[in-house]
Amino acid sequence: MESSANTNKALTDKRFSDLEPPLSDVIIEALEQSDFKFCTPVQAATIPLLCTFKDVAVDAATGSGKTLAFLVPLVELLRRLSSPKPHQVLGVIISPTRELSTQIYNVAQPFVSTLPNVNSVLLVGGREVQADVKIIEEEGGNVLIGTPGRLSDIMERMDILDFRNLEILILDEADRLLEMGFQKQVNYIISRLPKQRRTGLFSATQTEGVQELAKAGLRNPVRVAVQAQSKSESSQELTNSKIPSGLHLEYLECEADKKSSQLVDLLIENADKKLIVYFMTCASVDYWGLVLSKIPALESITLIPIHGDMKQNARDKALASFTEVSSGVLLCTDVAARGLDIPGIDYVVQYDPPQDPNMFNHRVGRTARLGKQGRAIVFLLPKEDAYVEFMRLRGVSCQERKCSEKASDVIPIIRSLAIKDRAVLEKGLKAFVSFVRAYKEHHCSYIFRWKGLEIGKLAMGYGLLYLPSMSEVKQHRLSSEGFIPVEGIKFDDIKFKDKSRERQRRQNVQARKAKREEEKREKGKRSSKRAATDACGTSDSSKAASRKLTGKQRQTIQTAEDEEELAEDYRYWKKLKKGSIQEDEFAKRMGADDF
């Protein structure tokens, strides 16, 4: 027998079937088939407003059910229209990332399918724009769901699309749209749409840019502000929060050379759960995805990496795989921090605190969604402890978790992997350098002071065999204390396990060696030519001049050339210090190996 009351504290007692104006029977049926009976606060407040032709500006916590809050009224508004022509656009939904757009598209399908002769199209990057053009030409597009770049591109290319009868525009994650630099594309899209329309602007944070966007795109909007309610452990009072009510937040303070061992211990402890681990850079995701998969204690755990530098097909497959597994770990950057609704996330681990503190709530909001319980933890270095108080002042309180004393030291394992496979060595160096440079760009630079970064301990935590020759280290003298270099190994001789990569590396080494030798020969020829020219311009004592040319003059010429080469090397070194060239470019100039 169906319960008549709602027991989920994240939901209201308002049923979708009780909303006014009433929803269509087919929509109620589609909602119930997806196990949606009771509304969340944002749904209860927003759906009636959009259905009665009001513009809305919605400020709601992550995981509050915003997607259904705009999809349900969108479908209801379109149901009232007569059957549209194939290329007549009635609704547009804009979101900042491909993953979020894809998620919205998939959630929308059961509801859009209830509309006769209405076709929705997903428009995101990662594939040829001509493929999207062909789909729209052949099948039409009444509801366009996608990212600003691809949507604006399609609108510029296709005169066949008719926006004159557009009914509704939705801007999802509006603050992120602006943060990611889509202001120009969003403005272009809005300029192409009729002013007589409904507009919904949904955002987790109300920034100045979002308010300006609301003024430009909405007419007398109704403001809907919904925050999660959480109960303080030291008090029975309810307090407003922008994190889910069922979320237990912790922080772990440990030295940089202990972080990786603590992470592995935490993953082992939660081997039967579903976790997301956030890193600051794409290179870090690549490295830890490779290393963690080779640690024996983690062999039984499914590890799935995803970041913004991956091809779209790979990102889609990674998310699909992680969604399907009952337990496993998603290793990612902030590309998976906002809007994504992956079911069953038990634990969110922030191995690196986000550059932008606003992303903290979005990250932890992947768990404890819609009233469920979840845990989250952020790793901090001892010098970063002020971050706890900083977040508390922003309404996010974390409890301390002590370092695990039973955590095994994984550094020897990682170093052994690097010695056996050059891929681990190179990815580790790249991840380390990318992290240091990303750390320099931290928005909270007064807490995350990169000049106080203990580079030696950090390198040990990454399991590096040696400290890379970084301009940041030389110029600012970051502390290398705590780093123990590996002795007795010639790093140039470390090979790729992948035989084809090793063969290519050897070919590259030989090619560079041959090029250097050729350059030396060319310099020698130029020197001889200049010397011969000088000899021809001398007086009758040509033999004496020739003898001088082979002695002091030749030495002078060679010295000048050496000084010129040193000056060029110095110019490259200065470029490296300024960050205008990368380490690998400098290494090639110096004739070093390719890592």
Is pLDDT above 90 for 340? no
Q: pLDDT tens digits for 320-339?
A: 999 999 999 999 999 888 77
pLDDT of residue 551: 55
Dig out the tokens for 265 from the structure: 């211990």
Map residue 584 onto helix, strand or coil: helix
Tabulate helix, strand, coil % of the chain (nearest 5): 50, 15, 40
pLDDT > 90 fraction of the chain, expressed in percent and rounded:
62
Is pLDDT above 50 for 227? yes
Dig out the tokens for 283 from the structure: 């290179």
Considering only residues 188 and 569, tell me which one the structure prediction assigns the higher pLDDT: 188
pLDDT > 70 fraction of the chain, expressed in percent and rounded:
84
**pLDDT band at 550, cuts 50/70/90?**
low
**pLDDT band at 239, cuts 50/70/90?**
very low
Which region among 80-94, 334-348, 473-487, 530-544 has the lowest average model confidence (pLDDT)?
A: 530-544
| Strand pairing category for 228-231 and 238-241 | antiparallel
CATH topology assigned to domain 16-226: Rossmann fold (3.40.50)
**pLDDT band at 593, cuts 50/70/90?**
very low
Instruction: State if pTM tops 0.85.
Output: no
The whole-angstrom separation of Cα 348 and Cα 538 is: 80
pLDDT of residue 544: 46
Give the residue ranges of DSSP H helices in 270-399.
282-292, 312-324, 358-364, 386-393
Which region among 226-230, 260-264, 539-543, 558-562 has the lowest average model confidence (pLDDT)?
A: 539-543
Is pLDDT above 50 for 254? yes
Domain ranges of the chain: 16-226, 238-476, 496-518+575-595
pLDDT of residue 581: 72
Over residues 230-247, mean pLDDT: 52
Over residues 572-584, mean pLDDT: 65
Considering only residues 236 and 193, tell me which one the structure prediction assigns the higher pLDDT: 193
Is pLDDT above 90 for 269? yes
Is pLDDT above 80 for 148? yes
Torsion of Cα atoms, 269 then 273 then 274 then 275, to 10°: -20
Considering only residues 245 and 386, tell me which one the structure prediction assigns the higher pLDDT: 386
pLDDT of residue 91: 97
Which are the contacts of 424, defined by CB distance < 8 A and separation ≥ 6?
A: 287, 290, 291, 294, 414, 417, 418
Over residues 437-446, mean pLDDT: 93
**Which CA distances in Å does 14 have to 41, 111, 259, 404?**
9, 20, 46, 45
Considering only residues 38 and 206, tell me which one the structure prediction assigns the higher pLDDT: 38
In the sheet with 56-60, reading across from the earlier edge strand, the strands are: 120-123, 143-146, 91-94, 168-171, 198-203, 56-60, 222-226
**pLDDT band at 592, cuts 50/70/90?**
very low
The whole-angstrom separation of Cα 367 and Cα 335 is: 16
Map residue 511 onto helix, strand or coil: helix
Over residues 205-216, mean pLDDT: 74
Residue 74's nearest CA partner among 202, 189, 258, 160 is 202
pLDDT of residue 203: 86
Same fold, 16-226 and 238-476: yes
- Per-chain mean pLDDT for the chain: 86
Q: pLDDT tens digits for 349-391?
A: 999 999 999 899 989 989 988 778 999 999 999 999 999 999 9
pLDDT of residue 533: 66
Which region among 382-386, 470-474, 569-573 has the lowest average model confidence (pLDDT)?
A: 569-573
| CATH architecture designation of domain 238-476 | 3-Layer(aba) Sandwich (3.40)
Is pLDDT above 80 for 475? no
DSSP calls for 371-412: G--EEEEEEE-GGGTHHHHHHHHTT---EEEPPPTT----HH
The whole-angstrom separation of Cα 372 and Cα 65 is: 13
Over residues 7-22, mean pLDDT: 87
Over residues 465-486, mean pLDDT: 82
